[in-house]
Amino acid sequence: MKKVASSIIKYLLIVFFLYYYIGTTAFVHTHYFDKYTVTHSHPYFPGTHHSHSTAEIETIGLLNMLVADTTPLFSVIFALSLISIISQTAISFTTHKELHLSHLRAPPVIEKVF
């Protein structure tokens, strides 16, 4: 059961990442207001009916600020996690016992006499 859940979560994370990546690169658009301009991206159907309320504009601004503020933190966490994984892998390769078979004798040699 745990293996199935892990597999489902892996695929959901891939789908969420693709949705986010495509949404932020393929659907960039700009809204013009009297005092400011907002450029952002999210999936939408193009047309004149696409607009945002004031609360949505504020939410977009807060989310953009949150992403900009937390990106360095996530970069550090990712780097530390990667270093941890690499060091654990290196340790697992070096903890094997080495076999020293120097006490064994060589096989007998048969010499032909001419």
Q: Does one domain contain both 29 and 56?
A: no
Q: Does one domain contain both 58 and 31?
A: no
Report if residue 99 sits inside a domain.
Answer: no
Report if residue 22 sits inside a domain.
Answer: yes
Contact criterion met (CB below 8 Å) for 27 and 41: yes
40 phi and psi, to 5 degrees? -150, 180
Q: Does one domain contain both 88 and 60?
A: yes
Q: Summarize pLDDT for 26-72 with one digit per residue, the tens.
A: 888 888 888 888 888 877 777 767 788 888 888 888 887 887 788 88
Domain extent at residue 12: 1-50
Q: Does one domain contain both 41 and 61?
A: no
For residues 102 and 99, give the distance between their C-alpha atoms in angstroms, rounded to a whole number: 9
Report if residue 67 sits inside a domain.
Answer: yes
Q: Summarize pLDDT for 4-30 with one digit per residue, the tens.
A: 888 888 889 889 888 878 877 888 888
pTM for the complete prediction? 0.42
